Amino acid sequence: MGNRHNLERIIVINKDATMNENSFAYEGLTREECREKLVKDLEKANLLIKVEKIIHSVGHSERSDAVVEPYLSKQWFVKMRPLADRVLENQKNKDTKVHFVPERYEKVMNHWMEITYDWCISRQLWWGHQIPAWYKDDEIYVGMEAPKEEGWVQDPDVLDTWFSSALWPFSSLGWPDETEDYKRYYPNNLLVTGYDIIPFWVNRMTFQGLEFTNTRPFKDCLIHGLIRDKIGRKMSKSLGNGVDPMDVIEEYGADALRYYLATQTSPGMDLKYDSDKVKATWNFINKLWNASRFVLMNLGAFDKKSFHLDNLSISDKWILTKMHKCIKKVRHHMEKYEFNVVGTEIYNFVWDDFCDWYIELSKINKNENVLLLVLTNILKMLHPFMPYVTDEIYDKLPLKDETIMLSSYPKYDEKLCFDEVKDMESIIELIKNIRKVKLENNIGKDFYLVYHNDIIKNNINIFEKMLKISNILDKEQFKNNNLKNIQIGFNGDNIEIYYDNSSNEILEKENLIKEKERLEKSIERRKNLLSNENYIKKAPKNIVDSEKETLEKEINDLKILEERLSK
């Protein structure tokens, strides 16, 4: 409902006069017709002193654009004070209360229960639970069944939507009968809802649950935020900034949208919808799909009976350790409903550890059992967030239960966490550092890796394959080679990199000469500009000062560059 400033009439009545008009004369008239007739009747009875025009706020319906005015009628109310007090008392007991996540939203419930007023539960709508009240002359009957005598007419009003939906936690399980479902599932474990309907729905489910079942309707209440547009505005038809989920699903799939919405924000916080992030999730699903194809293609004639975790390599022990640490963190944060943290943990493990490293390492030393076990647990961890793609892949695995939906969630196993993970982490860091040095120094395939420690010595095959080189030597071997035009490019982590730098020097010199020529032209242009008196007088002082600072910097850069060229 919106307010507008309308021009309305004020009728001032002469209190000393009287009007003997039959009140039923206005019955059946529209409010506009009634007002016109009333003014005429007041004038006729000499009750009207004057009519003035003023501007004031008048509520209008957002849908129909009709004026919203008070309407007096008989309604049904719920006396709220006893119900609200029971909620407030129940929230003091940690064993019986409704636990909010985040906890701060419990204050919203308590605040509304403290300031509550009697609740009007009758609505003049076309559909809903019809009020269980019947009328016959001046008699009123309220009950679960209609009166058997003739002449009773049921109240045409229906219950407020929130009254009906507040019955949902127990009425959907067969209440008031103690059905098997009711005994097994009530109270519910968890309600997930938005913070904007805590007073309308959560509060009412709570006091109705306490009133009708003598217990809370659910143990936990997880509050999520609203989905807003990219700049933080609430989505609405008037702004035209809404997003049709079916269009997103058509482009990126239901799993991408589901994973994005579930893992991109913390509980209780609003989410700014970003289609680029949905696309990033779609890329993540593609990454998982391609990794799954690799695993399935390398299983060969896999026999479920022969599954074992023997003869593990250092990379096998590393990925198993990383997997179980990931499982431990995921289960911990799942229990706290921190799905954003869960999403980050699974994403990092799948993309970085499994896809970028272990799959590449498995091309050196393939272990079918480890590949299959890790993929299976990844699918199970992701299934609540990506039900469709995980079910599709899981159905193709030889090591599986009947369906992923009924399979057990992965559990942390300390026995499959190994100390060798530290050595593997060192190997990965070394490979990253070497790749960085190669990129920064424009080093090709021909270079020498000289090591001084046992980690490289015992895992030469990993370095050869991951770095695509065969020149890996210890310090003694390198000394025995008669190498020319070789310079030290990197020294750290007990390794050294040697490479032929002659071609790099030529390329670097060419780039330095080009940069020198650019600086000389720029310096000359700025000097000419700053020597122009008209420019100095007319240009803003801050721009002139900026030009002087830039000139000074370019002169200094040119000196440094000339020194490099001289060497």
Q: What percent of the chain has pLDDT over 70?
A: 90
CA atoms of 40 and 45, how far apart (whole Å): 9
pLDDT the model gives residue 15: 56
- In terms of Cα–Cα distance, which of 206, 196, 190 is closest to 339? 190
Can you tell me the mean pLDDT for 314-329? 94
- Residue 1 pLDDT > 60: no
Element (H, E) at 33: helix 31-44
pLDDT the model gives residue 502: 62
- Residue 5 pLDDT > 70: no
With beta carbons less than 8 A apart as the criterion, state whether 446 and 497 touch: no
- In terms of Cα–Cα distance, which of 167, 173, 193, 197 is closest to 185? 173
Can you tell me the mean pLDDT for 99-127? 94
Phi/psi of residue 366, nearest 5 degrees: -80, 130
Distances (CA, A) of 102 to 32, 206, 265, 542: 51, 17, 13, 50
Residues whose CB is less than 8 angstroms from the CB of residue 8 and which lie 6 or more positions away in sequence, other chains included: 53, 54, 56, 58
Q: Any idea which of 145-149, 426-430, 431-435, 509-513 has the lowest mean pLDDT?
A: 509-513
- Residue 134 pLDDT > 70: yes
CATH 1.10.730.10 fits 272-418, yes or no: yes
pLDDT the model gives residue 6: 52
Q: Any idea which of 50-54, 138-142, 204-208, 300-304 has the lowest mean pLDDT?
A: 300-304
445 pLDDT band, cuts 50/70/90, is: confident
CA atoms of 423 and 455, how far apart (whole Å): 7
- Residue 246 pLDDT > 70: yes
The residue extents of the domains of the chain are: 2-60, 77-121+160-224, 272-418, 423-500, 512-566
Q: Give buried/exposed letters for 230-255 (b at 16+ CB in 10 A, else e).
A: eeeeeeeeeeeeeeeeeebeeebbbb
Distances (CA, A) of 544 to 322, 454, 533, 535, 557: 58, 61, 11, 8, 20
- Report the predicted TM-score, pTM, of the whole model to 2 decimal places: 0.74
- Residue 231 pLDDT > 90: no
Residue 496 vs residue 49, higher pLDDT: 49
Burial class of residue 356 in the structure, from the number of CB atoms within 10 Å of its CB (0-12 exposed, 13-18 middle, 19+ buried): middle
| DSSP symbols for 241-302 | ----HHHHHHHH-HHHHHHHHHHSS-TT--EE--HHHHHHHHHHHHHHHHHHHHHHHT--S-
Residues whose CB is less than 8 angstroms from the CB of residue 140 and which lie 6 or more positions away in sequence, other chains included: 133, 134
Strand order in the sheet with 495-500: 472-474, 447-451, 495-500, 486-492
With beta carbons less than 8 A apart as the criterion, state whether 115 and 88 touch: no
- Residue 485 pLDDT > 90: no
- In terms of Cα–Cα distance, which of 212, 228, 226, 346 is closest to 288? 346
Say if residue 169 is preceded by a cis peptide, omega within 30 of 0. Answer: no
pLDDT the model gives residue 90: 95
Q: What percent of the chain has pLDDT over 90?
A: 46
pLDDT the model gives residue 14: 57
13 pLDDT band, cuts 50/70/90, is: low
With beta carbons less than 8 A apart as the criterion, state whether 8 and 54 touch: yes
Residues whose CB is less than 8 angstroms from the CB of residue 331 and which lie 6 or more positions away in sequence, other chains included: 409, 410, 411, 412
pLDDT the model gives residue 351: 93
In the block, tokens 């560059």 appear at 561
Phi/psi of residue 537, nearest 5 degrees: -75, -40
Q: Residue 398, by phi and psi: left (phi above 0), alpha (psi -120 to 50) or beta?
A: alpha
- Residue 200 pLDDT > 80: yes
463 pLDDT band, cuts 50/70/90, is: confident
**What SS3 class is residue 21?**
coil
In the block, tokens 């809370």 appear at 216
Q: Give buried/exposed letters for 87-96 (b at 16+ CB in 10 A, else e).
A: beebbeeeee
Sign of CA dihedral 251, 341, 338, 271: negative
Can you tell me the mean pLDDT for 72-83? 92
72 pLDDT band, cuts 50/70/90, is: confident
